[in-house]
Structure 1
Amino acid sequence: MIPNWLLQRAYLTPNRIALSFGDEQWTFQQLKEEAISIASKLRSIDLQEGDRIALLGASSPEMVFMIHGCLVAGLEIVMLNNRLTTEEIAWQLTDSEAKVWIIADEFQNLTAQNENAFMTFSMIQTLPIKESHFTEYWEPSRTITIMYTSGTTGFPKGVRQTADNHTSSALSSVLNLGLDENDCWLCTMPLFHISGFSILVRSVLYGMEVRLYEKFDAQSIAEEICRGTVTRISVVATGLQRILSEMEKVDSVADPMFRTVLAGGGPIPNDYLERSTLRQLPVLQTYGMTETSSQTATLSAEDALRKSGSAGKPLFFNRIKIADGKRAGEIGEVLVAGPHVTPGYIGHASSKSSLVDGWLQTGDLGYIDDEGYLYIVDRRSDLIISGGENIYPAEIENILASHPRVLEAGVCGQEDKEWGSVPVAFVVVDTDLSAEELDEFCRHRLASYKVPKRFYFVKQLPRNASNKLLRRTLKTWLDSDEK
């Protein structure tokens, strides 16, 4: 049995700070009071334990209160991405069969032309409180959240994440990272995404403060890191680059209290790691996905440069292997097993098993070296096969990102009559830079067949809510005027 997270945490450390946002802060006891008030109001509209609701909001204290209110009430929460179109939201609401759609007031415009029943945050606040009993212990198999995958092929799948999935993930993480009573995790990741939601889970399990940001503000984040007001942060490579740039502007270093930059979403370029070392920023590269309730493997800070590009070793309860891999260094699909792995899907994908012979097929290509470290090479769907040679976009992107005037880079394959497919690159630069200069830069560092055949200079790259690069969108740009 697993304790109802917030109820147990508020009992153990009621006066410890749970959440801060701007100049405001709330203790775990205050957070519990907010959550119980919401949970009691939800009972008044006949939402019972085990019912499924859909939730859409921003990264705000009100969203945190609503999430915890739904959790205390024992509801299954379908976490909706607030960047979706009304059509995409309508599809997920229908597929999930959510009983009620709960939506932050500022997104009420998304309810237009949508026939699903909804309630805004302010509408819920006006509901009467119904005296209720809330379950103090959960069955480990109880579904906590449902998050839809990005849908690289076909329709997105609603991934179930259980109490055991989330709890196991948080415990594996703390066994790797350690815990200090003064820990404070700065959260800029969307709360509807597994990377953001998992920070809330760690908070109630560890008794740790979450310093919440509504949007990514590189300057403010860098200042907090240098003042020591926060100790940890989760980012992707682009976020790390922006923080480093702010620190470099004022020649600052991280406060000794700061402990971890948890970097996911793909390999971190060596240039970023070297710059992080100069700024005394401990960067831990990590690998995970929606189906694994956040982290599966994490690289230690001391190995960041020695094992550059690696996602590290599996966390304590987790297992990783390479499909059909018979020797170290052999590339194949990454398979994952452990208590953090989803038991399955909902809706149209409910009949699809999440496991094959006990292993989750991630769709990622990678290898394990002779010391047991995992390297993610690329998404299987993004692999470029050119003249029989396998080309991994991430390798080229990392080379381009090491150029001092390149801020971001994205690579995808373009059809070619002679070679089948060839790599092309989309780059964001901070000053004038020619395609000829980039071509020469790449030719000194890449085999000729890996050098992009064309360079497109763009203002920004397409990314999803967790800031991961959408290479499939780059492909659509090739034959459009969007770039």
Structure 2
Amino acid sequence: MTHPPITQSPTPPLHQPVDWLRSRAAVTPERPALYFRGEVLRYGELDQQVEGLAASLWQAGVRPGTRVAALLANSPAYVALIHGLARLGAVLVPLNTRLVAHELTWQLTLTGADFLVSEDQLATVAAAAAPPGCRRLDAHTLVAQTAPAGERPWQQGTPLDQVQAIIFTSGTSGRPKGAMLTFGNHFWSATASLYRLGLREDDRWLSCLPLYHVGGLAVVFRCCLYGIPLVLHDHFEVDAFQASLEADGVTLTSLVPTMLHRLLNRPGEGGPRGGLPASLRLILLGGAAASAELLARCRDEGIPVATTYGLTEAASQVATQRPGDTLRKPGSVGRPLMFTRVQVVDEEGKVLPPGEPGEIRVQGPTVMAGYYQDPEATARALRDGWLHTGDIGYLDGDGDLWLLQRRSDVIVSGGENVYPAEVEAALRQHPAVEEACVVGIPDPEWGQRVAAMVQLRPGHRVTVAELDAFLRPRLAGYKRPRILTFVESLPQTASGKIARRTVAEMLQRPGQ
């Protein structure tokens, strides 16, 4: 028997431009899109607000490919800006609001940002940070504009292969690197996360992660693609967070271990599930390794936690425990998400067998396009079709990933990455400092605390308070050492390098 040939129907290419928010608003215009401080914005309303903002940006000179930096706290205006830049095909450069002016200036200069969008509370630092030629715009003024009638000349949507944002993630050299994430990176990350975690009609995602972090940005796009509300907080505050869980019917949230530690140790906490409401079906826990004690408490009290591993260069999630498996395998971050491959390799790139630790490398459609204006760093990170993370871990016989150590000497304090080389360089700028070694000290609340051992120049003296004051204009607050001690000479290895492990042990001794 002969069969007629099978012909495939033509399908639109993946690079066809699509406006995610406009598509969502067309389907569910009355569905809540955003909760913020008791106010509710529906998808149709958010779409109209974004249209007016896009018109204002276009009139200011923003075009496809224009780099627009944002120095903003979490707010509806920030969410609108994210969608508005996507509608125009412009590139977002989210800036960490905790950085000092000269740190921000370096990032603005590197990216060649033409515009810096800020707000009143950050106007002073924005003015100090903006390099010549970078025009400052007020976020709330932009959002207040209404869309003009008639033809709209700006781009109607973006292709998946277009860069959505340049997100800075510091390197071990202390010099920040701008990871270029595409719309496709976000799309496939959202799709794979949905496949792993599931979706319910009543889902609402509470996020207090800053929108300048990839984790916060990812939730904005996921809620839009899923058609669920984003419950946005401008920062994490225990009482407000707990109240929102109850009042807003939150089912999903993303936390770093420090936040969960505070939530479970709040005054008056008690009852089943750590006092968390029954509506909360899952806490995604990432950003830093969770302590065994914290996970044990979640297990004993039935707190719905899924540990996760991710990084900026892979658009947030790489591996996540299946709901419920965190209690069965405490400490594991689960299997790679759909579309993502993870291997553990030795120094020569040879794939290691289950149970043997090595470097974690990642492959898949969530991997960044590269580091902006840094071909050398890109070549080191993206090799042979893989993203080499520098993180150490192993895969077990079930294919679950176990994370042993984040990138070499990186300190993760309260979910923020602190790179010792950057802090050490700032310390060495003081005329009394000969050498410094910065390490992370375990801390039950913060995960790690930044600590420094400093060797002074012969004949020079400086106090801890004076050195901290010297660092204030040079480093963001979370980077400054919370433990600082002076020594005549730093311990060294046999090869003459500073013995970081010895320094860490010395700084953890009683009395330090």
8 Å Cα contact 1:228-1:258 kept in structure 2: no
Point out the structure with max Rg over C-alpha.
2
2:287: which partner in 1? Answer: 265
Change (3 A) 1:103 1:417: closer
Choose which of 21, 30, 41 in structure 2 pairs with 1:15: 30
Q: Please give the residue correspondences for 1:80-159 in structure 2 after superposition, counting only pairs within 5 Å.
A: 80-113=95-128, 114=130, 115=132, 116-124=134-142, 131-159=151-179
2:194: which partner in 1? Answer: 174
Q: Higher mean Cα deviation, 374-383 or 70-79? A: 374-383
* SS of the residue 2:170 aligns to: coil
Q: Deviations over 1:409-441 (max 9, x none)?
A: 54879753578443566xxxxxxxxxxxxxxxx
Q: Deviations over 1:198-219 (max 9, x none)?
A: 0000011000111111110112
2:182: which partner in 1? Answer: 162
1:52: which partner in 2? Answer: 67
Change (3 A) 1:416 1:16: same
C-alpha distance in 2 between matches for 1:144 and 1:101: 16
Choose which of 173, 184, 190 in structure 1 pairs with 2:210: 190
Q: Please give the residue correspondences for 1:369-388 in structure 2 after superposition, counting only pairs within 5 Å.
A: 369-382=396-409
Aligned length in residues: 418
Q: Please give the residue correspondences for 1:246-285 in structure 2 after superposition, counting only pairs within 5 Å.
A: 246=266, 249-251=269-271, 253-285=275-307
Consecutive unaligned residues of structure 1, counting only runs of 5 or more, are: 385-392, 426-451, 459-477, 479-483
8 Å Cα contact 1:38-1:124 kept in structure 2: yes
2:326: which partner in 1? Answer: 304
* SS of the residue 2:193 aligns to: helix
Give, as a single letter, the amino acid of the residue that structure 1 aligns with 2:354. Answer: A
* SS of the residue 1:347 aligns to: coil
8 Å Cα contact 1:9-1:204 kept in structure 2: yes
* SS of the residue 2:265 aligns to: helix
Q: Please give the residue correspondences for 1:428-443 in structure 2 after superposition, counting only pairs within 5 Å.
A: none
TM-score normalised over the length of structure 1: 0.80
8 Å Cα contact 1:260-1:282 kept in structure 2: yes
Q: Deviations over 1:141-193 (max 9, x none)?
A: 11111101133324111111111100000000000000011111111000111
Choose which of 238, 249, 260 in structure 1 pairs with 2:258: 238
* 2:473 is aligned with 1:455: no
Give, as a single letter, the amino acid of the residue that structure 1 aligns with 2:491. Answer: D
- Note the C-alpha offset of 1:231: 0.6
Change (3 A) 1:32 1:111: same
* SS of the residue 2:408 aligns to: helix
C-alpha distance in 2 between matches for 1:417 and 1:42: 55
8 Å Cα contact 1:412-1:423 kept in structure 2: no
* 2:393 is aligned with 1:366: yes
Q: Deviations over 1:310-349 (max 9, x none)?
A: 1110001100001233311111111000000001121344
Choose which of 23, 30, 45 in structure 2 pairs with 1:30: 45
2:462: which partner in 1? Answer: none
Choose which of 347, 366, 376 in structure 1 pairs with 2:373: 347
Choose which of 336, 359, 373 in structure 2 pairs with 1:333: 359
8 Å Cα contact 1:58-1:214 kept in structure 2: yes
* 2:480 is aligned with 1:416: no
Q: Deviations over 1:242-287 (max 9, x none)?
A: 1111386243533332111000022222321232234432100001
Change (3 A) 1:8 1:151: same
* SS of the residue 1:364 aligns to: strand
2:341: which partner in 1? Answer: 319
Q: Please give the residue correspondences for 1:192-211 in structure 2 after superposition, counting only pairs within 5 Å.
A: 192-211=212-231
Change (3 A) 1:423 1:228: farther
C-alpha distance in 2 between matches for 1:107 and 1:61: 16
Q: Higher mean Cα deviation, 290-299 or 255-264? A: 255-264
Change (3 A) 1:247 1:14: farther
C-alpha distance in 2 between matches for 1:18 and 1:222: 21
8 Å Cα contact 1:247-1:279 kept in structure 2: no
C-alpha distance in 2 between matches for 1:364 and 1:138: 33
Consecutive unaligned residues of structure 2, counting only runs of 5 or more, are: 1-15, 412-438, 454-489
C-alpha distance in 2 between matches for 1:262 and 1:38: 32
- Note the C-alpha offset of 1:222: 2.5
Choose which of 54, 57, 62 in structure 2 pairs with 1:42: 57
C-alpha distance in 2 between matches for 1:282 and 1:417: 45
C-alpha distance in 1 between matches for 2:327 and 2:491: 36
* SS of the residue 1:326 aligns to: coil
- Note the C-alpha offset of 1:35: 0.4
Give, as a single letter, the amino acid of the residue that structure 2 aligns with 1:216. Answer: F
C-alpha distance in 1 between matches for 2:201 and 2:289: 30
C-alpha distance in 1 between matches for 2:17 and 2:282: 28
Choose which of 287, 290, 314 in structure 2 pairs with 1:292: 314
**Identical counterparts, % of pairs:** 33
Change (3 A) 1:127 1:202: closer
TM-score normalised over the length of structure 2: 0.75
8 Å Cα contact 1:4-1:135 kept in structure 2: no
RMSD, matched Cα? 2.8
- Note the C-alpha offset of 1:237: 0.7
C-alpha distance in 2 between matches for 1:128 and 1:24: 20
Q: Deviations over 1:219-245 (max 9, x none)?
A: 222234356710111111111111111
Q: Higher mean Cα deviation, 100-109 or 87-96? A: 100-109
C-alpha distance in 2 between matches for 1:153 and 1:193: 20
Give, as a single letter, the amino acid of the residue that structure 1 aligns with 2:355. Answer: G
